[in-house]
Chains A and B, each alone.
Chain A
Amino acid sequence: MKRRLHELAHARAGDKGDTLTLALFPYREEDYELLRREVTAQAVKRHLAHLVGGEVRRFEVPGLHALQFVCERALDGGVTTSLAIDPHGKTLSYALLEMVIDA
């Protein structure tokens, strides 16, 4: 069954220069393994390919049932010089939650 991440998880975006961070947390702890399996760094890179120019790395934080994605060259040069309407990329947590996975 295909499911949109938004049904399963919440997320928070953050920025450091031109780097975007996306933290992903399942609503139910038992879904953490599913997210680990389906929401890989490669899958996120594919999903956000039109935004992220650089590498996507994934950190696992099992104690918090969290996945942290660190996306390089994702913010049009970074908050201080970007032409984007949302130069911090703060809305991009919800771009991640648009991802569709097999669940």
Chain B
Amino acid sequence: MILASQGELDYLALECLAERTIALAQLRKLADPAAGFDPLLEARMRALLPLAVRHGFRIVTNMGAANPLGAGRRVMALSRELGLKVTTAVLSGDDVLSLLEPGMRTIEARGAALSEYGALVSANAYFGAEEMLPALASGAQVIITGRVADPSLFVAPLAHEFKWRLDDWQRLGRATAIGHLLECAGQVTGGYFAEPGLKDVPNLAQLGFPWCDVDAEGNGVLGKVAGTGGAITLRTAKEQLLYEVTDPGGYITPDVVADFSTVSLKESAPDRVAVRGAGGRPRTPTYKVSVGYRAGFVGEGEISYAGAKAVERARLAGEIVRERLRDDVTDLRVDLIGMDSAHRTDFSHSLPYEVRLRVAARTATRELAERVGAEVEALWINGPAGGGGVRRHAQERIGVVSLLLERARVRPKVTLLDEDREAQAA
């Protein structure tokens, strides 16, 4: 909100989709055809729309998730309710579930066919700047998309403003580096960075979100609103630039194959980092498609042990649960939280005073998933001494795999929502 009201923005991008988010949204849409967009859309837009109108910035977001048109209509209803004159452009067409065939190969390590996975629930192509440009050209103040590549939410407005050609790989590569730095918001302003003593970050509770001032060449300066918490430094920017990058020399998006290995970062002033020098090569001929499928159920249970022999008692409890589930559950994991649950070893550190047993299992049915937690709960009565604080959980699991699809097979569509009509823009 501080960024929106004091950032002197031209564009505000909200990146809200993790890998599995659309699959889960698709399940909500199946239950209610009007749902399937980001549940926080209404609250966020209620706060941001008045600021966007007052300060004249445009909002670009993938909060449409599995139902971008539904999200656009919700925004229009909200703007009427708030008495604002707003037009919205909606990018859809990323839903390619109907194009999938069982024999298609996934790009995950084994390259297994789709037919080897559970029932498919969603398939969404990652769109890029090209597909968003008609929405930007429409002049709409709010642009809502389903699945687009995260950095493309930032590349598209830059390509639109500076009228870049879509084969201007250098500039698209630079803009992609900037988009990648911005897409996790507070992760470049000192969020997810702090370690007391070695990596102190001031006032994390009031963490400021980043802006970037970008020139027509695609070079930019990262900053945040004065007085907000956090910090933008060489170190925070470096960590974010390589975050989730599996090849720094070839970061593939729908727009470009960007080269981050040549990026130069420089602290140009306090809380300012200049970003330049990313490269780019021609984009790939395919869209990456993220496919959601039903992956069975997961059941979990946890219980704490503290004091003398806490680790031994927790270990004994884990063995008891494992044995009690042995005939029904094969895919089971036992962790001691406080010891080795996160790293699967304690790298020879000393024993903790208290420890929490966690048992988790993949199961074919919800009933079996419920039994995992039930067996942990039974440790209260039938397990080692002094266990307490049981929590249990069981839920259906939606998995995600990816494949590649020829661009020509996919039809992006932009719909303009005006006060009283809907029209197709592209």
User: What residues make up the interface of A, taking CB atoms closer than 8 Å to B?
Assistant: 10, 12, 14-19, 21, 23, 25, 27, 50-51, 54, 59, 61, 63-64, 66, 68, 70, 72-73, 78-81, 83-86, 91-92, 94-95, 98
Q: Contact: B235 with A68, CB < 8 Å?
A: no
Residues of A within 8 A of B265 (CB): 64
Cβ-based interface call for B247 (8 A) = yes
Min C-beta distance of A80 to chain B, whole Å = 5
Tell me whether A83 and B298 are in contact (CB under 8 A): yes
Contact in complex: A64, B333 (CB < 8 Å): no
Q: Which of B109, B241, B398, B400 is within 8 Å of A64, CB to CB?
A: B241
19 other contacts beyond A21-B243, A80-B398, with CB at 8 A cut-off?
Answer: A10-B195, A10-B199, A14-B243, A17-B109, A18-B108, A25-B238, A50-B345, A51-B344, A61-B242, A63-B264, A66-B238, A70-B246, A78-B108, A79-B20, A81-B362, A81-B397, A85-B358, A85-B360, A91-B343
A73 to B108: give the CA distance in the assembly, Å: 10
Q: Is the CB of B397 within 8 A of A80?
A: yes
Contact among A21, A25, A79 for B19, CB-based, below 8 A:
A79
Give every chain A residue within 8 A of B361 (Cβ-Cβ): 83
Instruction: Compute how far the CA of A10 lies from the CA of B238 in the bound complex, rounded to whole angstroms.
Output: 10
Question: Which of B235, B295, B341, B398 is close to A25, meaning CB atoms less than 8 Å apart?
Answer: B235
* Complexed CA–CA distance, A12 and B298 (Å): 28
Taking CB atoms and an 8 Å cut-off, the chain B residues in 241-281 that contact chain A are 241-249, 260-265, 277
Contact with A along B8-24 (1 / 0, CB 8 A): 00000000000110000
Contact with A along B339-355 (1 / 0, CB 8 A): 00111110100000000
A63 vs B243: C-alpha distance in the bound complex, in angstroms? Answer: 16
Residue numbers of B with Cβ under 8 A of A are: 19-20, 108-109, 192, 195, 198-199, 235, 238-249, 260-265, 277, 295, 298, 331-333, 335, 337, 341-345, 347, 358, 360-362, 397-402
Which of A14, A50, A54, A91 gathers the greatest number of chain B CB atoms within 10 Å?
A14
In the bound assembly, the distance between CA atoms of A86 and B333 in angstroms comes to: 13
The 4 closest A-B pairs by CB, nearest first: A14-B244, A23-B242, A12-B239, A91-B342
User: Is A63 touching B402 in the complex (CB atoms < 8 A)?
Assistant: no
Residues from chain B with a CB closer than 8 A to the CB of A19 are 246
Q: Do A84 and B242 have beta carbons less than 8 Å apart?
A: no
* Whole-angstrom CA separation of A18 from B402 in the bound complex: 12
CA distance A14 to B333 in the complex (A): 23
Contacting pair A85 B341 (CB below 8 A): yes
Flag if B20 contacts A54 (CB, 8 Å). no
Write out the residue numbers on chain A whose beta carbons fall within 8 Å of the beta carbon of B19: 79-80
Question: In the complex the two chains form, is A51's CB within 8 Å of B343's CB?
Answer: yes
* B248 and A59 form a contact (CB under 8 A): yes
B249 to chain A: which residues have CB within 8 Å? 59
The answer to whether A21 and B244 touch (CB under 8 A), given A63-B263, A81-B397, is yes
Closest A residue to B337 by CB, please name it: A85
Residues of A near B337 (CB, < 8 A) are 85
Bound together, the chains give a CA A81 to CA B19 distance in angstroms of: 12
Contact A10 B20 (CB under 8 A): no
Contact of B242 among A21, A78, A83 (CB under 8 A): A21
Question: Once bound together, how far apart are the Cα atoms of A21 and B3, in whole Å?
Answer: 30
**B333 adjacent to A83 (CB under 8 Å):** yes
By beta carbon, the residue of chain B nearest A63 is B264
Given contacts A17-B402, A50-B345, A83-B362, contact A68 B248 (CB under 8 A): yes
**Interface CB pairs A-B, < 8 A, 14:** A21-B245, A21-B246, A23-B239, A25-B239, A50-B344, A59-B247, A63-B264, A64-B238, A66-B242, A73-B109, A80-B398, A81-B295, A84-B333, A98-B343
B343 neighbours in A (Cβ, 8 Å) = 51, 91-92, 94-95, 98
User: For B195, what are the chain A residues with a Cβ–Cβ distance below 8 Å?
Assistant: 10
Looking across the interface, which residue of chain A has its beta carbon closest to that of B343? A95
